[in-house]
Amino acid sequence: MTPAQLTALGPKLTAALRPFHDCCQQQRTRDHLHTYCRGLLSDLPRKSVEPIALQAGTAVRTLQEFLRDHSWEDDAVCDLLHRQAALRLPTLADDDLGTVGLIDETSAVKSGTQTPGVQRQYLGCVGKVANGIVTVHVGLCKGRYKVLLDADLYLPKSWHADRQRCRQAGIPDHVVYRPKWQIALEQLDRLRAHGIALDWLTFDEEYGKRPDLIAGLDQRQQRFVGEVPRTFSCLAAVRSGRRPAAGTKGRPAEEVVRHSTAFRSQPWRVLRLQRETLADQVWRVKAARVWLSSATGWSAGT
């Protein structure tokens, strides 16, 4: 956003941040929250502390100390944000899609070894394995309303095993290694606990390749449209509805959708998906029920 746009947005941004003041443990420095948020919304090419502080006319060291030393209540911020969304959603105009959630992750390249959770791992921001951190997020949209609702650090196993290193980095003992799909399910449970119901959930292949995530969503009766890898192991459900025998091997999803009668016997449906800033997408769709195969055996249901 340009400086003129930020100035015009000023009163509304101030009002939006006001409910979060009590989450700042140091009340005398809470104005720096406004400074930092304005910097993140600005069109600065680099949104680190120094350029944000200089643009706002704030001493760089002052803003650094605010972010480093003046703790705020993370859980309280998240809970308040959830409650705000739960109150807002029923007031929004409905559309054909309803309330749609998204599971995804972000990553950031780091050069050192001190940042919590940093290690060599796959980073989507550069599309390869590099030194950096990963965080898991859940957001939602309803019409033109969009909000990011939760975020958790992915703590690698190497950090989990070294609790002294965790304490030195300020990571509490209750933050432990969990697979990313498990973090995502925990975030969805928190949304539900605060009264946020999703009509649909979507995710990419990184999460869709985990049968445990699919099973967890099924247990929660959460409808979803997610991407799975073409090698995802499954079998089309037969008309009798019988579960595959324990010794039966699954087939790659790519083969199932190409050769199974359940898919070949039906015509394509053509769907047009509108997008705000790009041309419409046109999809061809077929659907059939399948059994999922994993290391623990066949899924409990289709």
In whole angstroms, what is the distance from residue 163 CA to residue 173 CA?
7
Residue 128 has pLDDT above 80, yes or no: yes
In whole angstroms, what is the distance from residue 62 CA to residue 59 CA?
5
| 65-106: pLDDT as tens digits | 888 777 778 888 899 999 999 999 999 987 788 999 999 999
**Does residue 131 contact residue 118 with C-beta atoms inside 8 Å?**
yes
What is the pLDDT at residue 181?
96
| 162-216: pLDDT as tens digits | 999 999 998 989 999 999 999 999 999 999 999 999 999 999 999 999 999 999 9
Q: How confident is the model at residue 159 (pLDDT cuts 50, 70, 90)?
A: very high
In whole angstroms, what is the distance from residue 242 CA to residue 239 CA?
8
Block residue for tokens 């039966």: 248
What is the pLDDT at residue 66?
85
Q: What is the CA radius of gyration of the chain?
A: 23
Percent of the chain surpassing pLDDT 90: 69
The string of DSSP codes covering 75-100 is HHHHHHHHHHHHHHGGGSPP-SS-SE
| 247-281: pLDDT as tens digits | 999 999 999 999 999 999 999 999 998 888 899 99
Is residue 31 within a helix (H) or strand (E), and if so which, with residue range? helix 31-41
Residue 203: both structure tokens together? 């995710």
What letter would DSSP give residue 23? G
Domains and CATH numbers, the chain: 1-72 (no CATH), 95-225 (3.30.420), 230-298 (no CATH)
What is the pLDDT at residue 240?
85
What is the pLDDT at residue 29?
75
What is the pLDDT at residue 113?
92
In whole angstroms, what is the distance from residue 302 CA to residue 284 CA?
22
Let me know how long the chain is: 302
